[in-house]
Amino acid sequence: MREGVSLVLTPSPSGEPVIAHWGAALGPLDPEQLAALGALHRPGVPHSALDRPRWSGVVPQVVRGFSGTPALEGVRPGATSGPVAPRLDDWSVADDDAGTLTLTGSDREAGWDVEVTLSLDEGGLLTARTRVTNSGAGPLQLVAVRTVLPVAPQATELLDLTGRWTRERHPQRHPWVQGTHVRESRHGRTGHDASLVMVAGVPGFGFGHGELWGVHTAWSGDHTTYAERTPEGECVLGSGELLGPGEVVLEPGESYTSPRVLGSYSVVGLDGMAARLHAALRAQSPRTRSVRPVVVNTWEAAYFDHDLDRLGALAEAAAEVGAERFVLDDGWFLGRRHDRAGLGDWQVDPEVWPKGLHPLIERVHALGMDFGLWVEPEMVNEDSELARAHPDWILRGRTALPEEWRFQQVLDLQVPEAYAHVRDGLTALLDDYDISYLKWDHNRDLVDVSHAGRPAVHGQTQALHRLLDELREAHPALEIESCASGGGRVDAEILARTDRIWPSDTIDALERQHLQTWTSMLVPPELIGSHIGGPVAHTTGRRHSLGYRGATALLFHLGIEWDLSRITPDDRAAVRDWVDLHKRVRPLVPTGRLVHADHPDPAVVVTGLVAEDAGEAWYVAATVAATATQHPAAVRLPGLAADATYRVTGETPRGRALHDDAHRADLATSWLESDGLVVPGAVLGSLGVRLPVLSPETAQVIRAVRVH
């Protein structure tokens, strides 16, 4: 039992462990009580069924009558007899007294040894994974290895996420009826449409209310996540790697370990689920506990137009507004004047940078900023020195190359020489230049690819993880951002090796209000890059005020992607105001709890960061459309201590460049313009605060500080 969560296992008559309960804390149970719990939940024997009670064990098996999706599937190529599906017996359970159970079973006749580990961490997050060992005489071809977690039958509503490029992680909800709801990702990376979490809960659950169970598949390649209700009554959430035919074949004695499945139970809605996931990801990324530097990225400011004077002027403007990290994006390496050439040739282009990057880096450092660099190491352009020298290193599924995607192909990292080329090229850059940060991109899906006659995604994903591990070991202070056409590779396994994600290629503030909310169901705010772009969004053409753009980025890892050297002094001063405000907020970003208000009007989005002791909180209340009523309903401020008293103030910068003068009269009569009001936390959490009339796509920043 950990942090309000209990995981209870009982044995079935065959000896297979059964997860009898994963959910609300039940308190300590002695052996007699555990036996009683098992007896209370003993299944019956209906007509037209097996003649003995059918228990759904920790590994659902078709040979024991389970009618849903089996946890394990495999074949033995060339075998002419013997069982196909495993029937696991001889179970044993080991407890390490630190919250981890190891459950092992075997089928000697079929030649399967299976180990399931279940770990409940200090924050109440359940981590599960399955390991299969071939104990037979011949090769074992794995078809599927799925890890399955049961949930309570009162969870009759499902929520998962879908999306596309520049519209990642949008929610979809529907009743959970009998059958299987499956979400598969077949992109060779996590995918823009990946369901970051799959959630089953009581009807109507929200951010701050409702009992629910959520799972995340921690894998950066092809994967499956599903929810299943069987006619017999099982309710399960399952997931695993999506294996291609023949992709994983185990020789005798060899093993395969599935991706981790992270299971988060909450009795207080989606924010409670996310809080457990955030705690776990924060524990595996200790460097992000420090203050996160404000970033200026050159992409939407300069694109491929690299010039020392121009970029130097941008760096000076970046320092003027308070930036602390300057990231040079695409366009710095051999032949890279556009996106059709150069990928794979990771040397600084002497035509553009005759003295290398040293002059720019020295200028950036002299301005008090550290330096970052964009790379896309897994990709190659056909128009590159690398492709001309080593066409056999390009990942393909047949003689002809796959169709181009953004004018590029994939480098086969399972070829040792190709892997060494990438590793050594990156290491040379990091050794030669004082680079603190790599923005690591991945701008295409893996389509029509294989390696050594087998599907390639499993091995390619493993090679990527190994490459990141080697670079981090060689350069322990290096920070890495995971960017994959924006949000195409967002998962807990990539976040174990990187320091933030770029959640989307769109920095349209309206789109970001939605996608940052749902990205944060897994990813804590300090690992989510959020930039203030120019007045007109690059991807959508929408125009937003600087106030709206600044407020949208405020509570995350803030950056700027705008040519600051070519804007007015007033605009630069206004940007500085937002950077200064963020620096007041950011001590809470890597430690605070991210919360969202359940507002009755979907046009109003409320996001907050609350200190661990609830002594301080910051909120952004934004509109994403016209409100349903002239005077929107009051905005509740979740997460505060009900028995404390707070001073509540409006903190939105009011500079000339930030504000629409048409709303001045309304604001002048609002409490937001006062020195603050002292209000009980119970009032702020239940009744909330009334905001002035909000036009579409405006935002207000609110601070609450405990006074006693």
| Cα gap 110→63, rounded to integer Å | 12
Distance separating alpha carbons of residues 362 and 665, to the nearest angstrom: 48
At residue 338, the 3 state secondary structure works out as coil
CB-CB contact of 592 with 610 (8 Å):
yes
Catalytic status, residue 441: yes
Residue 290 has a pLDDT of: 76
The rounded distance, in Å, linking the Cα atoms of 510 and 428 is: 40
pLDDT on residue 527: 96
Q: Are 3 and 124 in contact (CB under 8 A)?
A: yes
Q: Which domains does the chain have, with CATH numbers?
A: 60-285 (2.70.98.60), 294-588 (3.20.20.70), 594-706 (2.60.40.1180)
Q: Decide which of 289 and 567 is more confident.
A: 567
**CB contact set of 247 (below 8 Å; sequence gap of 6+):** 142, 454, 455, 457, 458
For residue 226, how many C-alpha atoms fall within 13 Å in the half-sphere facing its CB?
Answer: 23
What is the rounded CA–CA span in Å between residue 269 and residue 253? 44
pLDDT mean over 318-345: 97
Q: What is the average pLDDT across 617-638?
A: 95
Catalytic annotation on 193? no
Q: What percent of the chain has pLDDT over 90?
A: 88
Number of other CB atoms surrounding residue 75 within 10 Å: 16
Tell me if 212 sits within 8 A of 200, measured CB to CB.
yes
Cβ neighbours of residue 559 closer than 8 Å, sequence gap 6 or more = 294, 295, 296, 297, 529, 530, 531, 532, 553
**Predicted TM-score (pTM) of this structure:** 0.96
Q: What is the pLDDT of residue 659?
A: 44
pLDDT at 692 (0 to 100): 84
Contact 346, 332 (CB under 8 A): no
> Distance (Å, rounded) from C-alpha 623 to C-alpha 395?
45
As a whole number of angstroms, the distance between CA 345 and CA 376 comes to 10
Please state, in angstroms and as integers, the Cα–Cα distance from residue 673 to each residue in 99, 177, 337, 587, 664, following that order. 51, 50, 50, 25, 10
Q: Closest Cα to residue 676, out of 700, 649, 657?
A: 649
Q: For the segment 435-476, what is each residue's pLDDT rounded down to a tens digit? A: 999 999 999 999 999 999 999 999 999 999 999 999 999 999
Binned at pLDDT 50, 70 and 90, residue 669 comes out as low
Per-residue pLDDT at 664: 52
Of 347, 305, 351, 345, residue with least CA distance to 328: 305
Give the span between the Cα atoms of 538 and 505, in whole angstroms.
9
Tokens of 692: 């002035």
31-88 per-position pLDDT tens digit: 899 888 888 888 888 888 888 888 889 999 999 989 999 999 999 998 888 888 999 9
- Which pLDDT tens digit goes with each residue over 470-529? 999 999 999 999 999 999 999 999 999 999 999 999 999 999 999 999 999 999 999 999
Beta bridge partners of 409: 380
**Catalytic option among 345, 505, 571, 577:** 505
CA dist 346 and 360 (Å) reads 18
Q: What's the rounded Cα separation, in Å, for the pair 560 and 438?
A: 17
Per residue in 11-32, pLDDT (tens digit) is 988 889 999 999 999 999 998 9
Residue 667 has what pLDDT?
Answer: 58
Structure tokens at 569: 């002094």
**Quick one: how many helices (H) and strands (E) in the chain?**
14, 37
DSSP bridge partners of 297: 327
Supply the pLDDT for residue 658.
41
Three-state SS string over 107-170 comes to: ECCCCEEEEEEEEECCCCCEEEEEEEEECCCCCEEEEEECEEEECCCCCCEEEEEEEECCEEEE
The pLDDT confidence band at residue 285, using thresholds 50, 70 and 90, is confident
Confidence category of residue 297, pLDDT binned at 50, 70, 90: very high
Q: Where are the beta strands (DSSP E) in 206-360?
A: 212-218, 223-229, 235-241, 249-250, 255-257, 260-266, 295-297, 325-328
pLDDT score for 288: 66
Q: How confident is the model at residue 561 (pLDDT cuts 50, 70, 90)?
A: very high
pLDDT in tens, 631-661: 889 999 999 999 999 999 999 998 643 444 4
| 619 beta partners | 608, 702
- The CA-atom distances, in angstroms, between 368 and each of 293, 316, 318, 320, 371 are 11, 10, 10, 10, 10
Mean pLDDT of 110-119: 97
pLDDT of residue 372: 98
Q: Mean pLDDT of all residues in the chain?
A: 95
Q: What is the pLDDT of residue 98?
A: 84
What pairs with residue 396 in β-bridges?
A: 450
pLDDT for the residue numbered 286: 66
Beta bridge partners of 375: 440
Q: Specify whether the CB–CB gap between 193 and 229 falls below 8 A.
A: no
Chain-centre distance for alpha carbon 201 = 21
pLDDT at 668: 58
Q: Which residues of 534-550 are buried (b: 16+ CB within 10 A; e: fewer)?
A: beebbbeeeebbbbbbb
121-140: average pLDDT: 97
What are the start-end ranges of the H helices in 586-662? none
Catalytic residue, candidates 441, 445, 499, 577: 441
Q: What is the pLDDT of residue 662?
A: 44
Cα 707 to Cα 79, 615, 647, 681, distances in angstroms: 74, 8, 6, 11
Predicted confidence (pLDDT) at residue 204 exceeds the cutoff of 90: yes
